[in-house]
Amino acid sequence: MLENLQQQPPDKILQLMQMYREDPRDTKIDLGVGVYKNAQGVTPIMRAVKAAEKRLWESETTKAYTALAGDAGFHKVMRELVLADSVAPERVAAAATPGGTGAIHMVLELIKMAGPDATVWLSAPTWPNHPSIIRHLGMKMAEYRYFDNTSRAVDFEGMLADLKTVKAGDVVLLHGCCHNPTGANLNQTQWEQVADVLLERGAIPFIDIAYQGFGDGLDQDAAAVRMLAGRMPEMLIAASCSKNFGVYRERTGIVLAIAPDADTRATTQGNLAHLNRQNFSFPPDHGARLVTIILSDDELRADWMAELEDVRLGMLTIRQQLADELQRLSGSDRFAFIAQHRGMFSRMGATPEQVVELREKHGIYMVGDSRINIAGLNETTVPILARALIDVGV
């Protein structure tokens, strides 16, 4: 039987990680996978996470199962972190999942059960795993225009025009903040206009929010999702704690499903628990519990927020340094977009050939669409990247 299996196409981001590992040059620079690194190239365990782990180790008395949809305390702190008071808690169903990807998978399965004919609309471009999971689940998908390759900003006119063609009951996947892979984001007015169109068309927003706190701040990064939650009768959210709590390998994510009323919420909650049971039974608990401890304790929460803010400001500084250096070297403003983008990523607008040349000649690893991980840079490597970009003709 197993001989019937076909090779799967490699995941481009994970493939790049492998190539980087195998490169013997000690001058190589990894701007690939979206993992935060400090100036020393280390992905640190956040102070509050370490402290929460100590507390948990001292106080935890059992490893028996949690609830099927995960711990209710985790649901509450995450609902508050993402949605604040934008929507009545009685309308929000929740389930802990293995990471943000687990949440995306689960939301898509829920859509498949509730609206088997729905088309899921994706931004062009989007995180490659979005279409990959949709294809795996055999669902319908379509693209809306999002990124203007020339200005490296959002093609908002194109986006709105495409969203005006979605059908009632279709689902529109939007990045809540820090768009991956482009780094280009909507402003608040544009988000309002998107909400108008979705309401008019009877479409359901599906928000993937994996970088809350990495863009303009914890609350600012959730402003769009909260605005939508206040206006839309239904909304689906996949949130990740991998990045903003730095708990990548603990696989900590959550589905928040906003239902029109309390009855529908109860049915949705039952379906989320059912999906967990079918897929993996009880969700992982360790990371979720750390997040719950941190968000429920004033001191740990304040320390976590301070460290996250340092991470965010550090990435903004690197953005500005890179934009300045490229302006100096190129004598033009064509790289100013780097300082305007937000989050961990920016799409540089290099051709696939230039991306290969950057890797082979300069040992600089970026995703094939020329997405760079800003956190992979530091003061020493910013000028190296800038010179290399100019050298290959970007």
Which residue blocks in the chain are alpha helix, DSSP H? 12-22, 47-59, 72-83, 99-114, 129-136, 156-163, 188-201, 218-221, 223-231, 262-279, 286-296, 298-330, 337-340, 352-362, 381-391
Q: How far is the CB of 215 from ligand LMR (least distance, A)?
A: 15
Chain CA centroid to CA 76, Å: 21
Of 16, 29, 34, 348, the residue at the interface with ligand LMR (CB under 6 A) is 34
Q: How far is the CB of 150 from ligand LMR (least distance, A)?
A: 24
Beta-carbon contacts of residue 306 (< 8 Å; ≥ 6 apart): none
Of 224, 229, 243, 350, the active-site residue reads 243
21: left (phi over 0), alpha (psi -120 to 50) or beta: alpha
The smaller minimum CB distance to ligand LMR, of residues 33 and 392, is found at 33
Of 208, 221, 224, 386, the active-site residue reads 208
The smaller minimum CB distance to ligand LMR, of residues 34 and 183, is found at 34
Site for ligand LMR in 362-381 (CB under 6 A): none
At residue 44, the 3 state secondary structure works out as coil
The smaller minimum CB distance to ligand LMR, of residues 197 and 308, is found at 308
Nearest CA-CA partner of 92 in 225, 230, 258: 258
The contact mask relative to ligand LMR for 77-116 (x = CB under 6 A, - = no) is: ----------------------------------------
Cα pseudo-dihedral 292, 211, 39, 385, rounded to 10: 170
User: Residue with the closest Cβ to ligand LMR?
Assistant: 34
Q: How far is the CB of 240 from ligand LMR (least distance, A)?
A: 8
Site for ligand LMR in 123-152 (CB under 6 A): 127
DSSP-derived letter for residue 166 is P
Q: How far is the CB of 214 from ligand LMR (least distance, A)?
A: 12
Site for ligand LMR in 42-81 (CB under 6 A): none
Of 51, 118, 210, 259, the active-site residue reads 210
For residue 391, what are the CA distances in angstroms to 47, 200, 326, 357, 373? 40, 48, 11, 10, 20
The smaller minimum CB distance to ligand LMR, of residues 34 and 213, is found at 34
Beta-carbon-side half-sphere exposure of residue 218 (alpha carbons within 13 Å): 20
| 310 assigned to active site | no
Number of residues that bind ligand LMR (CB under 6 A): 5
- 354 backbone dihedrals φ, ψ, rounded to 5°: -65, -35
- 5 backbone dihedrals φ, ψ, rounded to 5°: -70, 145
| 191 assigned to active site | no
The smaller minimum CB distance to ligand LMR, of residues 13 and 377, is found at 13
| 243 assigned to active site | yes
Q: How far is the CB of 137 from ligand LMR (least distance, A)?
A: 18
The smaller minimum CB distance to ligand LMR, of residues 180 and 212, is found at 180
Beta-carbon contacts of residue 20 (< 8 Å; ≥ 6 apart): 28, 30, 32, 365
Q: How far is the CB of 106 from ligand LMR (least distance, A)?
A: 16
Beta-carbon contacts of residue 57 (< 8 Å; ≥ 6 apart): none
Q: How far is the CB of 28 from ligand LMR (least distance, A)?
A: 17
The smaller minimum CB distance to ligand LMR, of residues 259 and 348, is found at 348
Whether a cis peptide bond, with omega within 30° of 0, leads into 10 is: no
Spatial contact of 255 and 115, defined as CB atoms under 8 Å apart: no
The smaller minimum CB distance to ligand LMR, of residues 34 and 284, is found at 34
Nearest CA-CA partner of 181 in 343, 347, 295, 388: 347
Q: How far is the CB of 36 from ligand LMR (least distance, A)?
A: 11
Site for ligand LMR in 170-229 (CB under 6 A): 180
Q: Is the dihedral of CA 346, 352, 356, 357 positive or negative?
A: negative
| 375 assigned to active site | no
User: Binding to ligand LMR by residue 33, rule CB under 6 A?
Assistant: yes
Of 127, 155, 162, 257, the active-site residue reads 127
Binding site for ligand LMR (CB under 6 A): 13, 33-34, 127, 180
Q: Which residues are the active-site residues?
A: 127, 208, 210, 243
